[in-house]
Chains A and B, each alone.
Chain A
C-alpha cells in the first residue's frame, strides 16, 4: 500500500532566499495575512471555540521555516527557523503546496493524512477544529492576499492573474483554488 506523492515539494533553491529574509518581516507579512483572514471570516474563530487559544505549529517540510499560530492573539503568527524549539499544542507538517491546497479547500485533508503527505502530532481535537473551521470559512489564500492590498486591489488582482501561473509552474504551489481535483 505505497503512497503516491500527489503534491510535489518546493524546489530546494527556494530555501536560500527564504533563509535570507529577516524573521520580523515574515512575521509582519504573515501576521497581517492571518489577521485579515480572521477579520474577513469571523465565523472562523467562532467555530474554533476553545481551540482558538491553542498553539498550532505549521511546519512546511520543504521550507526552512515553521509558523506558530495562535488564532485568538492579536499577533497570531510567529515565524521561526526550523532549529528553534518552541512549545506547541498541535503540529501539522507537510509540503507547503499540500498545506496551502488544504486551506484552499482544493485537496481533502484526510486524504493527505491517509497518504502521509501531511502528518499531525499533539492535540488531534484542536487540529480537527482548525481544519473544520477553515474549511467552513472557504478561505482562498490568493484572494486573502489580494484583499490585503486595499485600494490597490484591482492592480493586485491583475498582478496575481499574471504571477500565479508562473508561481505554480516554478514551485508547484497554487495560491488560488483551481477546480477541485477528482482522483
Chain B
C-alpha cells in the first residue's frame, strides 16, 4: 500500500509517535547517603568499570566532638582505615565505610556508615558527565531504546531471543545454564516465577512488552532482599517496553532485536532504556506504519490510510478516528481495513 504524502502529513499531525532510538543517552545512577563515587567527571568508562561503592548496610553512627573542634563537611568520605582529622593532634575513626552526615548542636558527629561495601560497575561504555552527592551520570556512547519502566540494577549482557514471538511468553523451561550472562527478550509477558528462575540461572536481564503490576511488586520486593544481603549477587535488570499487563513487543522492535541477537547490550534503570552499541544496525519501519496501542486490537500493526469521520461512542461522544489497513494475520490472505480512534494509535516510523 502506498501512502500518499498527504496521508503521511496527516499521520504526523494526528498520531503521537512511539519514542524512537536516543543517541548517546544520559544514564543516572542514584547514590545513597553513604555511597561513594569511584569516578570523576570526564572520565571514560567501559562496561565493567567501577562507578561507585554502595553501602547496603548503612546506619547512623556518631562520635563526640570537643567544644571548638571544626567538624568535617557533610559528605566527607569516611573510611575505617583512615581517621578523620578534626583538630591538631586529634582525629576520629568510624568503624566502617561511608560519609559524614552532619554535626549536631550538641557536638556529636553523625555519619552514615556500613561494613560491607559493594562495587557497582558501569553497564555501558561512555563518559562520566556528572558526579554529585545524589548521582553519578554517564553519557553512554551508544543508542538507547526507550522503555516505559525498568526495575532492578543496571546490567549488561549478550542479547538473546527467548520467546517464540513478539506476542509470546517466556517459559521457565526455556531458561537454562546456557542463558547465564544473557539479556533475554521475553515477548509479551513474563511472570515472577520465571524472573526468579532467570536470576537463579545467571541471566542478567529480561526485556518484555508488558508486566503485571503484581509481578512487578514481587520483583521489587525480591530485589530489595537481594540488595540488603551482604553479597548482592550479579546485577539483574528488568525492562518493560510498553506497559502493565500483557502487551506484545512492537514487531519492528522485535525484528531489530532478533537481528542483534548475540550482541552486547545493557539495560539502564534511570531512565528505562535498552542501550545498544553505537554501530548497531537498526532498521526503521517504513513510513505510514502504525501500531494499535489500546483496545481489543492491542499490538496489531498496519498502515495508516488517512483520517476518518469521528467514531461515536457513549451517548454520542465523538472520538477522532483514522483508517488503518491492518497487516494480515497468518490465516488471512489480505489485511483488513478498520476505522480506529486516533488516540489508540502510535506512529512507528
The answer on A and B forming one complex is: no
